[in-house]
Every structure is written in C-alpha cells, then in structure tokens.
Amino acid sequence: MGNVKITVQEIIDAANIGRTTFYAHFETKDDLLKALCEELFGHIISSAMDCTHTHGLYSNNNVPESVFCHLLQHLQENENNILELLSCENSDLFLRYFKDNLKELLQNQFVNQNRRNNKDIPQDFLVNHITGSFVEMVLWWIKNQMKEPPEKLDKYFRAVIEPIL
C-alpha cells in the first residue's frame, strides 16, 4: 500500500455504505481501526476462555497455549485486511492498538498464570518484550509471503518465549 493515506471517503466507497452510516458507528478512522483490533482480540480471548470454539487444529491443543496460533490463523484468513493494516506505512496507530490488545492478552493468558522463571524481571517489561517479539514475527511472516502455517509459527514462538516465562 505504500505511504497512502486512506480517506474516510475511500472506506465508505469500498464498504458501499453512506457517510452517515460510517459516522454513526465511528467518529474517525482511528475508531474504526481500534474497533477492528478489539473485535479480533475479543474473539481470541473469549475463545480461549470457553474452549468450545474450534479452528482446525485448535480444538486438540492445550487452549491457552495456542492463543497465538488462533491469532495467527485469523491473520492468515485476513477477513478484515488486518495484514494490510499491520504492514502498510501508516500502520503506526493500528500497530499501537494491536500491541495494546496483545499486551492485555499476554498478561491474562500467560504471565499471570504460569510464570516460573525470571521472577525478578518486572512484569510489564516481560509483557512488552514478548509483545514486540510477536509483532516482529508477524511482520517477518508477511514479508516472507506467509509460507509457514500458523501452527508452525506458533511452535517457534512458544519455543522462544517459554524459557523466559
């Protein structure tokens, strides 16, 4: 997408909705980005909690461990063009929302539950470190045309972060 700034008009045209409809739901483009992010992460978190939701191999796995896998599967399906939002030049804001939501997910799913190592490292430092690492992995994955399946990436990622936790 390069350095294109997307206008509300373009969003409206692409979504085939009226301007009033757009503004009835979102005050700004930023609100739309935030909502997209919250919807994605809300779904991941509620699935992890109720375990009944299945995405391919997700059902046989230990659920909290594969929240990453689930997230990667959604990115791969890319229903809301989230990948473009993550990798385009004006993605800073979306990236920030993505990271904020990811931090919350990590905090709840991992760090609070099963932290055995490095107890002297501040929790927010750990969460920040793992979040940055996940986002960089996703960007790397996009750059490599997403050749690896989510399951494999999930395995790599957990192999890297589990020793830290």
Which pLDDT tens digit goes with each residue over 36-57?
888 888 888 787 766 544 444 4
Residue 63, pLDDT score: 45
**Average pLDDT score over the chain:** 79
Contact, 86 vs 138, CB < 8 A? yes
DSSP state of 80: T
Residue ranges in the chain modelled with pLDDT below 70: 1-4, 49-65, 89-90, 110-115
Q: Which helix (H) or strand (E) holds 28?
A: none
Distance CA 42, CA 57 (A): 20
Amino acid at 79: E
Residue 27, pLDDT score: 85
- H helices present in the chain, as ranges: 8-15, 19-25, 29-50, 67-77, 82-87, 92-106, 112-114, 123-143, 150-161
